[in-house]
Homo-oligomer: A and B are copies of this chain.
Amino acid sequence: MKVAHLAGFALSSAVLGVVISYSAATETLPENASPIYGVTIPEGYRDWKFIAPAQEAPPLDELRAVLANDIAIDAYKKGSLPFPDGSILVKLAYKRKQSTEFSPATVPGAATTVQVMVKDSKKYPDSHGWGFGRFVNGKPVDVAQHETCLACHVNNVKDHDYVFTRYAP
């Protein structure tokens, strides 16, 4: 009985160990957080201030707009780089759709992605202080897609603190 009891105890510990590890992993990157960076969609972002619109050519063929929180807005208005810690930018993207009411216009169709950049120089020392998140229907896309973010920003806009979008007047 004593051996069986000990074996049972060992088994319980092993199971418990697995559970603890699993909990730790999900705490670090919850389901709604981007892989690699752990970025989530910030609450209330849809009411943030407007930076600029953009269009993405086919095949994506999207209309886009970037909003930002007040920390980032202040940096934009001052024209000061780098963006301070706490800056968050959110890009909204929509399929570009012919307006049925005004023939020269194309307007937002279905929402496609929400893309987030968070500045936190302590949390993201290996990506120039930026964490990235790309979301479809509120859920982060896979690791492979997130692996593409940093290289593109580094290759193209390192002189603008790795941010593409400029403030539209």
Task: Spell out A's residues near B (CB within 8 Å).
Answer: 46-50, 52-57, 60, 63-65, 67, 73, 92, 94, 96, 99, 101-102, 104-108, 111, 152, 156-157, 164-166, 168-169
B106-A55 in contact (CB<8A): yes
B65-A106 in contact (CB<8A): no
The minimal Cβ–Cβ distance linking A55 to chain B, given in whole angstroms, is: 5
| Known contacts A53-B65, A54-B99, A105-B164, then 10 further A-B pairs from the complex at CB < 8 Å, ordered by chain A residue | A46-B50, A49-B50, A50-B65, A50-B67, A53-B94, A54-B108, A55-B63, A56-B105, A57-B104, A101-B157
Q: Which of A49, A50, A53, A165: most chain B Cβ within 10 A? A: A53
Chain B residues in 8 Å Cβ range of A108: 52-54, 166, 168
- How far is A49 from B52 in the complex, measured between Cα atoms in Å? 12
Tell me how many chains of this kind the complex includes. 2
Chain B residues in 8 Å Cβ range of A48: 50
**Contact among B101, B152, B157, B165 for A156, CB-based, below 8 A:** B101
- How far is A24 from B9 in the complex, measured between Cα atoms in Å? 94
- How far is A99 from B157 in the complex, measured between Cα atoms in Å? 12
A94-B156 in contact (CB<8A): no
Q: Contacts A108-B168, A168-B111; is A63 near B54 (CB within 8 Å)?
A: yes
Chain B residues in 8 Å Cβ range of A168: 65, 92, 94, 108, 111
